[in-house]
Amino acid sequence: MNIVILGAGRIGQYVAARLTSEGHTITLVDTSRERLTEATLKMDVMTVVGTVTDYRLLRELVREKPELMLLLTDNDEANLVAARLIYALQPVRTIARLQNNYYSIHEECNLAHLFALRHIVMPDVLVAHQLATIALNDTLYGQRFFHGEALLRTVRLPSSARCLGRPLKALNIQDKGIMIGLIRRQDVIHIPHGEDVLLEGDEVTFIGNTNLLPTLQKLIGGKNLLPRSCLIMGGELASVYFARELQKQGVGVSLAASVRDMAVQYARDLQGVPILHVQGSAFDFLQTEKVDQVDVFVAASTAEEKNLQLALFAKELGCKKTIALFSDEATTHIAEKYGIHHVVSPRIAACDRICALVTTTKFISMQSLYDERVEILEIKVSKHAQVAGMPLSQLGPLMPKDVLIAAIQHQGRVVIATGSHTISPHDEVIVISKPEHRKFLEELF
């Protein structure tokens, strides 16, 4: 696909690298020659220096007949103006990244329609949803599919788990609408089969219907209660959206800022949330706020080194669950090495959403796990799909070993996939796969 990306910032370059690796032809546009030079050293892209709202530049770009234009600058207004100008020149499909959620909460203003956008992606909102999913579940990772009718949870198995040492086929969990889709053991990730045995310390991804959580409690033991308290330090809009999500669930939230003006802005945006002004060292502040008694701590500043420091402080002081925002892969590895419980990447969250929209309309959603080594895809089955009418028992041998069809939604009913199930046109399916098989899945469905 011929794609133009307007904006070569961190998200623009990250998306360009992902799409280039998938065989798309990318033209990258930015005002900074330095950014564009940096991009060409890392990937095979064409570059154009210019302003995204320059009508003459957009006219030249549109003449090349791109199939898609991504508006990914850091300036919301520039992205919106560019979208409208592109539409005036030629109705090319456009996707815009926006940071301010103001218009999305006012139903009378249909921003996508007003600026002729096919889709709007809001990274801060995506991050807030990921943070809420982690904070509100006693698991390593969680996600909802099929409008909440299918759940995914990743847990680390304790020594007390009842499922240890037994072959997966002996657990009989598929009868309860549950399957194990992924196992991570000592940083080796694989899609399991019936003979595999679970061990203490394994990170196991379960997929199931709405009965998943109570069944998980029986399998691994422990309780799965909502947190009572959460302390958020730093951040911008993502912190505000996340705090609102927790408020809706009745969780006590406090938000700390080191800049007084920022704290005042938070106070205006968040009614009923205590806004704390950080003075002195972060370590002393966390001690004073008794972070060891807080159920969830989130390091959400815009500086990754600071997030690493804050999360390590909170963990050292005894916080039950620490979450930190990182986009840099090296920082993420350090965080995992030192036992920070959860990591969320704003860049990956935005890129996953954009690439799911770019790749094909068949991909409803796409989530990356373990530094993008595994993807969880929600796919719409087309009318003439190769898999239509074929039992999964026949389809399985034709697919790569590291591709698993986990769940099917057929006419509103969700089932965990077994060999006896058949996929029909217009069904939606959840697939766990390695990224290199995405093209294969696109052709299959």
pLDDT tier, 109 (very low <50, low <70, confident <90, very high otherwise): low
CATH architecture assigned to 2-121: 3-Layer(aba) Sandwich (3.40)
| Mean pLDDT score of the chain | 86
CATH fold match for the domains 2-121 and 229-338 = yes
The pTM (predicted TM-score) of the whole model is 0.69
Residue 49 has pLDDT above 80, yes or no: yes
What residue ranges do the domains of the chain occupy?
Answer: 2-121, 151-220, 229-338, 349-444
Q: Looking at residue 430, what is its pLDDT?
A: 93
Q: Looking at residue 359, what is its pLDDT?
A: 64
Residue 212 has pLDDT above 80, yes or no: no
Q: Which CATH superfamily is domain 349-444 in?
A: Regulator of K+ conductance, C-terminal domain (3.30.70.1450)
Share of the chain above pLDDT 70, in %: 93
Answer whether 392's CB lies under 8 Å from 399's CB. no
Q: Looking at residue 108, what is its pLDDT?
A: 43
pLDDT tier, 331 (very low <50, low <70, confident <90, very high otherwise): confident
Q: Which range among 22-31, 169-178, 295-304, 307-316 shows the weakest confidence by mean pLDDT?
A: 169-178
Residue 223 has pLDDT above 70, yes or no: no
Q: Looking at residue 333, what is its pLDDT?
A: 83
Q: Looking at residue 91, what is its pLDDT?
A: 86
**pLDDT tens-digit profile of 278-295?**
877 899 999 999 999 999
**pLDDT tens-digit profile of 113-159?**
778 888 888 888 888 888 888 887 766 677 778 766 788 888 888 88
Q: Looking at residue 137, what is its pLDDT?
A: 72
Residue 105 has pLDDT above 70, yes or no: no
Between 137 and 69, residue with greater pLDDT: 69
Q: Which CATH superfamily is domain 151-220 in?
A: Regulator of K+ conductance, C-terminal domain (3.30.70.1450)
Q: Which CATH superfamily is domain 229-338 in?
A: NAD(P)-binding Rossmann-like Domain (3.40.50.720)
pLDDT tier, 361 (very low <50, low <70, confident <90, very high otherwise): low
**pLDDT tens-digit profile of 229-251?**
999 998 678 898 899 888 887 89
* Stretch 369-380: mean pLDDT: 86
pLDDT tier, 383 (very low <50, low <70, confident <90, very high otherwise): confident
Residue 337 has pLDDT above 80, yes or no: yes
* Stretch 319-346: mean pLDDT: 86
Q: Looking at residue 222, what is its pLDDT?
A: 60
